[in-house]
Amino acid sequence: MDRISGVTGRRGAAPRQLRDLAITIAAALVGGVVANALALPVAWLLGPVVAATLCSLSGLDTRPPEFLKTFAFFVLGIQAGSGVSPQVASQIALWPLSFLIQFVGVFLAVVLCYAYLRRGLRWDHASALFASLPGALSFVVAAASETRADMGRVVIIQSIRLLMLIAALVPLLGALEGGGDVMGSSIRPSGDGSAFEYALMFSACAVTAWLAAKLNIPGGMMLGALIGSAVLHATDIVSVSLPAFLALPSLVLLGIIVGARLSGIKIGAFLRLLVPSLGCFALSLVGTGLAGIAAVVLVDLPAPNVALAYAPGALEALTVLAFQFDIDPAYVAAHHVVRFFAIAMVVPFLAKRVSRREARENAGGDTISAPGE
């Protein structure tokens, strides 16, 4: 893939990467302490997200190694699954209709964002289209790279939208669910379970996480662990939660992972695309928000559940937020997986269609401006 405009290269010695990672972890811990002192909701996630984002924009390589990401997703998947109760089964029959309403909201969000970027800001067709798709960034980037889309614009718009989504949802849900008091839910008591229960939970979740990862399911490590934990807790086979010494570091790592989405992005490119990102974010919320209102009114689903499930992007982060705010994590995760699969299946066809359109324009002698101009 060609170098992405607005994104710096990654050529540096391992010692520099270790130094940057150490600084990032230290900053994330400080961010968590400050957010905790301010009694912010989900302090140990929100604080590290802000800190890691600032580190990324300052030029540090904030990306954690894969083994730390795997550890965090696995642990947080188990934690999220422990929030599933036996009462969840009574709500599953409503999910198909909720999925359908969600698709309408996603389509509306894409149309609104595309119109804003294409008609309002005069972006080229390919860049506007792929920047408008909510989530599934890896598939979107792979498909966009086969066209003349400005990859820098696509990556930055998608990354900023994710950060703003978390920044907006955390205080909103905090207000709906009781303000800063939900902060403590990130470190729930682990219960009085036996060593056998813990061994069963971790071993079963390890198997389901491994299977999900092998099947290339989106967010496989977290989702697989969530499924294993959810089955065990929903059937009352186990009733234990994760101890704080595992839950808290995993939340900090997730905050770093989210903030690292801007790692390598130049501050100038970030600032230039901040206003378009805000516009796309607002329009995405309009599209998914209208669908969410319809789901609450027509299907009689709780508003906080729908807000997290219909939010445009961030499968792992929003599944964890569902647990933190005592919202059904299975419902939230299911909707994000369905959205992810839908976008992943659509983008290859969109890329081919865009490529054919560009080929026709070239054959017709049309002048095509270079991406980013």
pTM for the model stands at: 0.76
Query: What gap in Å lies between CA 85 and CA 234, rounded to an integer?
Result: 5
DSSP string, 49-89: HHHHHHHHHTT---PPPHHHHHHHHHHHHHHHHTT--GGGG
Q: Is 265 helix (H, G, I), strand (E, B) or coil?
A: strand
Phi and psi, residue 7, nearest 5° = -120, 125
Please give the chain's pLDDT, 373 residues, in tens. Answer: 444 555 555 555 578 888 999 999 999 999 999 988 988 777 888 899 999 999 999 999 999 999 999 999 899 889 888 877 666 666 677 788 999 999 999 999 999 999 999 999 999 989 999 999 987 777 787 788 888 888 888 888 888 888 888 888 877 776 666 544 444 444 555 556 678 888 999 999 999 999 988 888 777 888 889 889 988 988 888 888 788 888 889 989 988 998 888 888 888 888 889 999 999 999 999 999 999 999 999 888 888 889 889 988 777 788 888 887 878 888 888 888 888 888 878 888 888 888 888 777 777 654 444 333 3
Query: What gap in Å lies between CA 339 and CA 335, rounded to an integer?
Result: 6
Query: What gap in Å lies between CA 46 and CA 192, rounded to an integer?
Result: 29
Query: What gap in Å lies between CA 223 and CA 226, rounded to an integer?
Result: 5
Q: Is 48 helix (H, G, I), strand (E, B) or coil?
A: helix
Which pLDDT score is estimated for 87?
65
- The three-point CA angle 299-303-307 to 5° equals 105
- Cα–Cα distances in Å, from 27 out to 22, 53, 171, 229, 369? 9, 10, 22, 31, 42
CB atoms within 10 A of CB 2: 6
Residue 364, amino acid:
G
Query: What gap in Å lies between CA 10 and CA 4, rounded to an integer?
Result: 12
Residue 295, amino acid:
A
Please, what's the largest Cα pairwise distance for the chain? 73
Query: What gap in Å lies between CA 69 and CA 373, rounded to an integer?
Result: 36
